[in-house]
């Protein structure tokens, strides 16, 4: 991996799409402002909009991969796949997130100015976002990043659809497990609805341990999806 | 180059599903043997009506209760 190649890739990206990015950040600021006019400014609304922007972004990062002739063009850029993945990871994880955060701050700031000038209360900065939320957002970004490399067209929608399908399958499986265990465990002469499933939260497990487990799982998930994106890009090249 | 991505994805999904089934089955059985899965009767005595009221709930008794509050 050559850092010069990564720098060149980043430069090429900025030359190509700084206008689009600025336009998108502008749209986010405008949405937050108009959202304020409609129903009062809030941090939650800004974060919600920014998350949607973040979901769509990887599709743009790899847009050259989604049609045939630019695909060859993209694959023939003189940089290795790992360099391309790392450059795009930097763009998605640092640059774009920072841009969105800045747009949120500007949008909320303008909204605050507008509200206070009209004599209303300012923007409430109360939010439920914390370390877990931010990590969850990065985990989601990794999934969409992989989706944008994996699928050929409409990658954001495909990723959402497939994720929902997998979620549905797992929920069905869990219901099946409950049902089968109910048949096995609950006595045959029990009247329907006699038993009630209720699991007591194990008290001997500390919250810190659960948090650590959550962080480990998400870190693993993020590494897994970026590694798979790299592998998939390599396969596309072959 | 051999294509590994699909295989890795499928293996991960199957592994996750098997893990989910095994863990949830074990947990459900543990809960059942510890008595955490209750009959409705047990549940109601614990959560809904901790003590049965001595006074039958009628309109008159309610009125007398509100008089006490006054």
Report chain B residues whose CB lies below 8 A from the CB of A190: 39
Q: What is the pLDDT of residue B70?
A: 53
Q: What is the largest CA-CA distance in chain A?
A: 74
DSSP state of A195: E
| A208 or B61, greater pLDDT | A208
Q: What is the pTM of this model?
A: 0.79
Gap between the Cα atoms of A108 and A113, Å rounded: 9
Q: What is the pLDDT of residue A200?
A: 64
B14 backbone dihedrals φ, ψ, rounded to 5°: -65, -40
Q: In B1-70, where does DSSP find H-type helix?
A: 5-33, 40-43, 59-69
Q: Of A45, A160, A229, which is closest to residue B8 (Cα–Cα)?
A: A229
Q: What is the pLDDT of residue A65?
A: 76
* ipTM exceeding the 0.85 mark: no
Report chain B residues whose CB lies below 8 A from the CB of A195: 37-40
Gap between the Cα atoms of A83 and A5, Å rounded: 7
Q: What is the pLDDT of residue B59?
A: 66
Gap between the Cα atoms of B67 and A42, Å rounded: 47
DSSP state of A124: B
Gap between the Cα atoms of A27 and A137, Å rounded: 21
Report chain A residues whose CB lies below 8 A from the CB of B17: 169-170, 173
Gap between the Cα atoms of A118 and B53, Å rounded: 57
Band (B10; pLDDT cuts 50, 70, 90):
very high
Tell me if A181 and B28 make a contact (CB, 8 A cut-off).
yes
Tell me if A198 and B43 make a contact (CB, 8 A cut-off).
yes
Q: pLDDT, tens digit, for every residue of B13-47?
A: 999 999 999 998 988 888 888 877 777 777 777 65
| B61 or A211, greater pLDDT | A211
Q: What is the pLDDT of residue A199?
A: 66
* CA torsion through residues A169, A170, A175, A179, sign: positive
Q: In chain A, where does DSSP find H-type helix?
A: 3-39, 43-61, 68-75, 81-90, 97-117, 131-150, 155-185, 207-237
* Vertex A148 angle, CA A143 and A154, to 5°: 115
Band (B51; pLDDT cuts 50, 70, 90):
low
Q: Does residue B50 carry a pLDDT above 70?
A: no
Q: What is the pLDDT of residue A183?
A: 83
Per-domain residue ranges of chain B: 5-69
- Cβ atoms within 10 Å of A108's Cβ, excluding its own: 23
Closest chain A residue to B6 measured between Cα atoms? A232
CB B12 within 8 A of CB A172: no
Report chain A residues whose CB lies below 8 A from the CB of B31: 199-200
Q: What is the pLDDT of residue B56?
A: 59
Tell me if A185 and B36 make a contact (CB, 8 A cut-off).
no
Q: What is the mean pLDDT of each run of 10 residues along chain A (238 residues)?
A: 83 86 91 78 80 88 75 73 85 89 88 82 70 87 91 88 94 91 81 72 76 90 92 81
Q: What is the pLDDT of residue B19?
A: 93
Per CB distance under 8 Å, which residues of B are interface residues toward A?
1, 3-5, 8-9, 12-13, 16-17, 20-21, 24-25, 27-29, 31-32, 36-41, 43
Gap between the Cα atoms of A53 and A75, Å rounded: 26
SS3 B12: helix
Rounded to the nearest angstrom, the gap between the alpha carbon of residue A40 and the centroid of all alpha carbons in its chain is 26
């Amino acid at each position: 991996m050559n850092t010069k190649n990564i720098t060149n890739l980043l430069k090429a990206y900025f030359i190509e799409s700084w206008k689009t990015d600025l336009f998108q950040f502008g749209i986010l600021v405008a949405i937050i402002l108009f959202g304020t006019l409609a129903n009062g400014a809030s941090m939650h609304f800004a974060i919600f909009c920014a998350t949607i922007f973040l979901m769509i972004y990887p599709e743009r990062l790899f847009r050259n991969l989604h049609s045939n002739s630019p695909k060859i063009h993209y694959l023939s850029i003189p940089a290795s796949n790992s360099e391309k993945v790392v450059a795009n990871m930097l763009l998605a994880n640092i640059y774009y997130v920072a841009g969105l955060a800045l747009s949120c701050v500007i949008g909320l700031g303008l909204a605050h100015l507008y509200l206070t000038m009209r004599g209303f209360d300012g923007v409430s900065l109360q939010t439920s976002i914390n370390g877990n939320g931010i990590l969850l957002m990065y985990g989601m970004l990794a999934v969409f990043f992989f989706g944008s490399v994996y699928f050929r067209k409409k990658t954001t929608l495909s990723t959402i659809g497939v994720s929902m399908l997998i979620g549905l399958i797992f929920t069905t499986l869990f219901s099946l497990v409950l049902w089968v265990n109910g048949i096995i465990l609950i006595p045959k002469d029990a009247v329907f609805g006699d038993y009630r499933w209720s699991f007591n939260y194990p008290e001997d497990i500390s919250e810190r341990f659960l948090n650590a487990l959550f962080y480990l799982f998400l870190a693993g998930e993020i590494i897994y999806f970026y590694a798979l994106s790299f592998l998939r890009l390599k396969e596309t090249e072959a | 180059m051999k294509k590994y991505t699909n295989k890795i994805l499928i293996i991960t999904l199957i592994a996750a599903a098997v893990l989910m089934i095994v863990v949830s089955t074990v947990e459900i059985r543990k809960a059942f043997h510890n008595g955490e899965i209750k009959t409705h009767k047990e549940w109601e005595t614990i959560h809904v009506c901790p003590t049965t009221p001595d006074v039958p709930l009628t309109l008159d008794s309610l009125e007398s209760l509100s008089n006490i509050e006054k």
